[in-house]
Structure 1
Amino acid sequence: MDTSTSSNPLGKDNTGQQWHHSLVWRIILYFAIASVTLSLAISAIIVAWNYQQQTDAFAERLESIAVGYSESLGSSLWFYDEVQIRTQVKGIMNLDAISYVRVTDNLNLNIEDGSRPHHGNIDTIDIYFNDKLLGKLEVAFDHDAVFASATKTALSNMVAQLISMLLLASLLALVVHRLINARIRHMALEVNYRINNDSFVPLSLRESDAHDEIDILVHAFNALSAAMNDELQQKTQAQQQLRIMNAELEDRVGERTQSLQRTVDELNQTLQELHSTQGKLIEAEKLSSLGGMVAGISHEINTPLGLCITIHSYINDHYQQMRTLFDKGEMTKQDFEDFIRMMEESLGILDKNLQRAAHLIKSFKQVSEDQTGEHIRDFSLKEYLTEILETLSPKFKQTKHTVEIDCSEQLRMSTYPGAISQVITNLVMNSLIHGYEDKNDGVIRIVVAEERGNAVIRYTDDGKGLSEEARQKIFEPFYTTKRGQGGTGLGMHLVYNIVHQRLKGEIFLDPDYQSGAGFRLLIPKKIDN
């Protein structure tokens, strides 16, 4: 097969710059790693095997020492021939791999030669003469020298194996390069050249007689290039047709654009008319809403003004009584003190309710949110709830309804107190007007708890409750069950706006309460200006 690249039009081959990505290089690398790993494993096995062989040889040698020297050492110890004993110790030390020898008797004889190793590496042989134990022979073998010898042998074998394996890897790499790598690289260069130049003629690299995997790949690429060449010709024809169609389309777009522009002008004119009509409808709706709100003022301020009238009548009655007593000269100091105390209480109630009426009138000017003009201040919620109910106390004197407050005295808030007053007052008045319409007694409960920086207020009454329609629409503006009877439907809508916009909280019907009306309010204890 011809793999020559002398007439290759592909330009400069940069394969030398990417040698580390070459398949041949990876084969050599993987083969070298495998060879080193295998050689190390084999060398370790050889070292262990040699060491075990030497250890077994030591055991045999120790047995021969016991047989060959035990009797002569026993005779020398019996006759206390120290010269002969030292000669025999020297003879044992001259044996292969012996590193330490020591002879001791039962008295004070101690003859040794060599460096004493750890006691665990010393073998002891008893010395007898005429079946009598005379002493001990201690022998230690040089395990380090044996291990070094075994390692040296293993390293020699490993080096020989590595050299042979590396030579084999080089030969394998050469074969892979000639049979696979060079042919694949040449084919890849030709394919890249055809892609960059939009040419899909068959490859110059032809199939060989071997019909191997590379030949199958060359055949597949040639078939692919022929198919792509046909597709390229079809694409060229399609582009020419597309240019003609684009020219025709531009003419049509020009005509349609003019027609569309006329339609847009007509739509703009219609849109302006719609905006004008919408503005008129919005103004009409505003006037309608304003009329409804003005009609609802009497309902909303009826309570504070009614209380003021009641207190005024109450003060006038006491005043007439005091004047009669004064004119008759029958007024006592106690009568005057009672009158002063009554006046202080009544004037306080009048002041609070007149301020309340002023707040309500100002609140109705901005139905979307409560802007009472108050500043944020710190106050005790329980004390403030008690103060709100005190302003409503004349209203409760006419009925048997009671209000129970369950709130910690330590709970303090930094928010708009007037907004809370307006919310609680509206809820109480709704209970009295709607919940207890046909009931002259009942209990209203206000339970307050703390939850993650919020005050959770649960307001409930045991009145007649809410219909399904009322539950769905209670917070909608102008929804009321008293239409034509003085109801405007702005009370609960105003409460909703105050809680959400002024107090930055939430209010919703309590789904767990079914005996009457129940609301849950989640109000931050502290809000910023």
Structure 2
Amino acid sequence: MNYNRHSILWRVILYFSLASIAMSVLGSGAILAWNYHKQIQSYEQKLSQIRSGYADSLGSSLWFYDEVQLHSQIKGILNLSGVRYVRVSDNLNMNIENGERPHSGDINRLPLAFNGKDIGVLEIAFDHELLLQQAMDTAASSMTAQLLSLLFLTLLLGYIVYNLLNRRISLLAREVQQRLHSHTFAPLSVTETGQQDEIDTLVRAFNALSAQMNDELQQKTQAQQQLKVINQELEHRVADRTRNLQQTVDELNQTLHQLHTTQSKLIEAEKLSSLGGMVAGIAHEINTPLGLCITIHSYIDDHFRELQQRFNSGAMRKQDFTEFLAMLEESLAILDKNQQRAAQLIKSFKQVSEDQTGEQLRQFQLREYLEEILETLSPRFKQTHHRVEIDCAADLWLETYPGAISQVITNLIMNSLLHGFEHIDEGVIRIQAAPDRGKLVMHYRDNGCGLSAEARLKIFDPFYTTKRGKGGTGLGMHLVYNLVHQRLQGSIEIIDSPQGAAFRLELPQQLHQPFS
């Protein structure tokens, strides 16, 4: 027998035993109450018999003061079963009692009369503890009999459950465990009882499942063998493909390295081309004031020689000298103005070119630097009506790479001139800059023809240009993107604008870690 305390058998026995005890206790309680009630009814009947059998004789004895007869009658009443106390008293001094006097509430009082006249009282008390004890004894006997019968039924039920369920389920579980450990699915050897009960149904179901599992196991074994052959073939194919793929990857890596090298060279060429264009423009701009300076110098020299000849010949007049001084003052003013213009152009070009070719991190005023950049680009605006507006505080400073700023602004302006203002006579470029929680936010806008949907998606891609075959390399905006994200450690994005192209740049106002 299975002694597992969690088994169905022991739980059935436990539950049945608890139910039996509960039923026995409830039944015994009901019997106790019923017996006690019966005893009370019996004593009430006895009280009625005493009233009918002793009342008249006691009244006669009390009338004639026959104490011997009264004691005899009281003793007879006490001999009745359950009577605990008897007392006879009259209206005068007669008082005869026998037994232990109980609480007044337990005393029954019967009037005694003689010839229709009340002459005394008979007091009787029953022993209620005796009544309760008798009822309890009866209930205990009944409960003991019930418990014995229920114990027998419990054992019988346990035996039946063990044979019908517990034993067969244990055998079934044991065989299932054996098959699990041996990894076989042979039919169970548990025999059916022929009663077609649930256990027989379970055995048949497991045997059917075992047969199905055996078929599936055979199919799985065959499939594994076929899969093994296929895996071997695949391994050979994968090895061949891997070798071919590795060779292709090596070739692609080499090609990619060459492309990166070529791209770097093209980007450097783009920088040099931008710088070369700037040099040509600045050279043309400087030629104008220098040419004027040479012309003024020749003009002064001619007048000086003429005045010197007149002085040597003694024909110089005061008016001649006065006119020469006036001409000299005007010429010197023109010389000074053109020399300052040339010096300013050279200073702006020198600062911007040094920044573009150098790697120096420095602090500078943004508005002043933007004006220097525009100064170097002024030749591009000479023959046009385009203009650039700067909206930036004079004291707004940056600590970053100014050369990268110059290249970004230059490329954006050149894109506007070449693409945005291609068919526009009076274009306007607006540059706004303001600090925002440790960062610089710059908005660049023009009122040109704007960007197409394709251009908005591909404008930062390398080699993308709308001027293919017309001198465009497609590296300008790619260079801007790389400079902003890598060198300046910021971000640039295209934003919506009702007219023209618009960009938003966000840069750290102070670059703490130099670009490497």
Larger CA Rg, structure 1 vs 2: 2
| Normalised TM-score (structure 1) | 0.48
Q: Could you state the TM-score of these two structures normalised by the residue count of structure 2?
A: 0.49
